[in-house]
Structure formats: C-alpha cells, structure tokens
Amino acid sequence: MGASNFVPKLYKYRMTIPSQLLKIRPKVQHLYYRGEYDESIFNKCIAVVGSRRMTAYGKRVLEKIIPCLVEEGVTIVSGYMYGTDKEAHKITLDCGGKTIAVLGWGIDWNPEVPSKNLLFVSEYPNDLKPQLWMFPKRNRIVAGLSLGVIVIEASEDSGSLITADMAKKFGRKVFCIPGPITSTVSKGSNTYIRDGLASIVTDVNDITQFFNWKIAEKHPSNGKQLALLDFLDVEPLTMDEISEKMCRKVSDVSAELSLLQLKGEVIEEGGKYYVSKG
C-alpha cells in the first residue's frame, strides 16, 4: 500500500497474516489489531527483547541502538511487557519510528488506546486475560515477524531466550548484547554468546553491517572524547565526577563536553551529562 493512498484503519480488525508468518509453526490462524494499520509496517522488522528487570545498562543500550535502527526505517517489534519491551516501544516512538506490540492476551483485554505509530497485534479477538501459556506462544510471532532478534538482557530462564530459540528455528538472525558477568539478568544472554548461538553486538554497526544497511553509529573525532563517552555510557555524571574519574582538569573536561554537546553526542540535564539518544 503506497503512502499516497494510505487510509488508516482504526481499532479491532482481523488482518491478513503477514507473509513472513505463513511458514512458522505452530501456525498462526488469525491476527487482530488495534491502532492505525498500514501493511508496510511489516516490511522491515527487528525484534528487541530483554529482561522485565531491565537495568540502567540495558536502558542505555536501547537508547544507543534503537535510534539508529529507526533512522534505517526499521519497525521495532516487542512484547509490550514492562521492562525492556515497553522501553523499546517508548524509545522507538520518541524517535518518530514505528513499532509493533505483540500481545500475550486478547486484543480487547487492555483498554489502552495505542499511540500513533504503535500497532497492537494479538491472536485473540476478545478480552482473554493473560495466562502463562500465552507468552511462549506469543514469542513465536515476535520472532517470526522479524528479520532478526536482538536480546538486550536475559537471565538463564528468560522468555527472551525462548524468542531467540524460535528465531533460530525460523532461520532468523539472533544478536545478543554482552552484559556484566556479575549480572544475573545477563547470564543467559552471555551464555548464548559463549555457546555460539548468537552474534555479539558491541555497537549498532554489528547489526547494520550484517543486513548491509548503511546507517552507522556516530563516533567522536578523537580518543579523549571517546574515553569520556565510555564513562557516560556506564552512568550519567556531573562534570566534577567526570574530572575525578578520568583524573583530568575540570577545565579540560568542560571543553570536551562543550564540543560533544555541539555535535549532539552529549546532553546535560540537572547538572549531569548523558550520552545523547540520537
């Protein structure tokens, strides 16, 4: 459906099963949606999944990766649970991107009205409440819709790894973000990388280059700025804290921060400096 003749269809409708779901098993019999539906939203999807106990590290990873994917025109698919899922949807919308929330309950159970560019999808046409068996079943749709699955953080028994397993079964690419070896919410994803079940992601280029996409992550122009951004990637810091951690003069840090702010690499809020999302 071309943009010139696009007419949004609103709220609960049964939809045509997207072609990428036709061969997955168990078979998807029906799909229902709420929101503005344009079938082109399914053309270029990447799933982003992770822990419901999302850490600050996981949030920063989402803020670093998703804007680049949105710039490439990727639709972000996730499961609309609290933690990583909802944050992935939120960041996508904040960047002006499109996102699909695959629900593990009936399309009418949650009365929330989807935002523009957010499409709710479910196998169930009614107000069926969520039940444990629905979530692994839902995960096959998350994986099946997507060219690849990015696992942000996953514990050993995480549902995110069920999605990753299904993605591999369906011939989709699986990427995992390495996490701290002390973090229980990264133990499963780290093990997945160690066992060669997923490609490691150290920056968004690891994803875009695999698919031959040209969008590249922005990097600062010198080593001092790169080192400074590495510190801010871990946590937001004040200028004095940066100076102390890097053993550098406040005046030097101030000059580098000013340059990074002009480039749009860093933002300042409430006296603390953050790596920019964009």
What CATH number does the domain containing 63 carry?
3.40.50.450
Report mean pLDDT in 10-residue bins for the chain, 278 residues: 42 79 90 87 95 88 88 93 91 91 87 81 82 82 96 90 94 94 91 94 89 64 71 85 82 80 80 79
Domain's final residue, options 154, 180, 208: 208
Q: Which domain holds residue 266?
A: 223-275
Say if residue 204 is in the same domain as residue 229.
Answer: no
**Cα distance between residue 13 and residue 141, in whole Å:** 18
Say if residue 234 is in the same domain as residue 178.
Answer: no
Domain's final residue, options 208, 233, 265: 208
Beta pairing, strands 199-200 & 13-15: unpaired
Say if residue 59 is in the same domain as residue 186.
Answer: yes
Q: Is residue 213 part of a domain?
A: no
**Cα distance between residue 81 and residue 50, in whole Å:** 10
Name the amino acid, one letter, at 40: S
pTM, entire model: 0.74
At 151 the pLDDT is: 96
Say if residue 238 is in the same domain as residue 195.
Answer: no
Residue 172 CA: distances (Å) to CA of 71, 85, 165, 202, 268: 22, 19, 10, 20, 39
The count of structural domains within the chain is 2
What CATH number does the domain containing 259 carry?
1.10.10.10
Domain's final residue, options 149, 173, 208: 208
**Token couple for 237:** 């810091």
Residues, the chain, total? 278
At 1 the pLDDT is: 33
Say if residue 136 is in the same domain as residue 228.
Answer: no
Directed axis angle between helix 56-71 and helix 223-234, to 10°? 120
Task: Give Cα 241 to chain centroid, integer Å.
Answer: 30
Beta pairing, strands 31-34 & 118-122: antiparallel
Say if residue 119 is in the same domain as residue 39.
Answer: yes
